[in-house]
Amino acid sequence: MASTPRPDFARVARLRGAEQGMIDEAARQGLMPEDIAHALTAPGVSDLLLFQGFEVVTDLGALAGPGSGVVDVPRHLVDGDVPALVDVADAALCAVLYRRLLVRGTATEQAALINRDVLLRLWPRRLAPQSVAQVWERRFPELTAA
């Protein structure tokens, strides 16, 4: 019977440290917004977020997605949790789509698919992981007033 290989936690820690160092350097060079770099290198951020990163629109007014009807979800965001078509009237499914867009969508996709008023209405549901939500709330204080 073969034994289960033991994870190399030291290697994982080195990779994580190297990624955090690259993020810090990118922020210093102006290649990444400082608020996102800070969120990605904060203690407790998930490995997924650290290595994937995330984007945030620069203007809440740019969120021009549909306020009603159906959203045609980009193929790379579709899976068992997010179908190819999402009805904005289905608050639970719309919240799942918005969460996906906040974490994995580009700023361009966010602007095209997220509706500002719907986001404000859904925001109290905690749509994003804490590190992502903090960046959105610092940039757009009106989210915390919702």
What pLDDT, in 10s, does the model give residues 34-58? 999 999 999 889 988 999 999 999 9
Same domain, 131 and 85: yes
Per-residue pLDDT of 69-127, as tens digits, reads 999 999 999 999 999 999 999 999 999 999 999 999 999 999 999 999 999 999 999 99
Same domain, 104 and 120: yes
Same domain, 59 and 45: no
Considering the entire predicted model, what is its pTM? Answer: 0.88
Residue 10 and residue 117: Cα distance in Å, rounded? Answer: 46
Residue 125 and residue 119: Cα distance in Å, rounded? Answer: 10
Determine, yes or no, domain membership for 2: no
Same domain, 17 and 84: no
Same domain, 70 and 134: yes
Same domain, 29 and 43: yes
pLDDT band (50, 70, 90) for residue 146? low
Residue 18 backbone phi and psi in degrees, to 5? -65, -40
Same domain, 41 and 21: yes
Same domain, 25 and 95: no
Q: Which two tokens stand for residue 32?
A: 């990444």
* Residue 85 or 7, more confident: 85
Range of the domain at 118: 55-146
Determine, yes or no, domain membership for 3: no
Same domain, 26 and 59: no
Tell the burial category of 139 from Cβ atoms under 10 Å away from its Cβ (0-12, 13-18, 19+): middle
- For 66-104, the DSSP string reads -SSSEEE--GGG-SSSS-SEEETT-HHHHHHHHHHHHHH
Determine, yes or no, domain membership for 146: yes
pLDDT at 9: 87
Same domain, 59 and 42: no
Same domain, 81 and 128: yes
pLDDT at 21: 92
How far apart, in Å, are the Cα atoms of 80 and each of 83, 84, 89, 97, 129? 7, 10, 19, 12, 20
pLDDT at 2: 73
Q: Which helix (H) or strand (E) holds 48?
A: helix 47-52
Same domain, 15 and 63: no
pLDDT at 12: 85
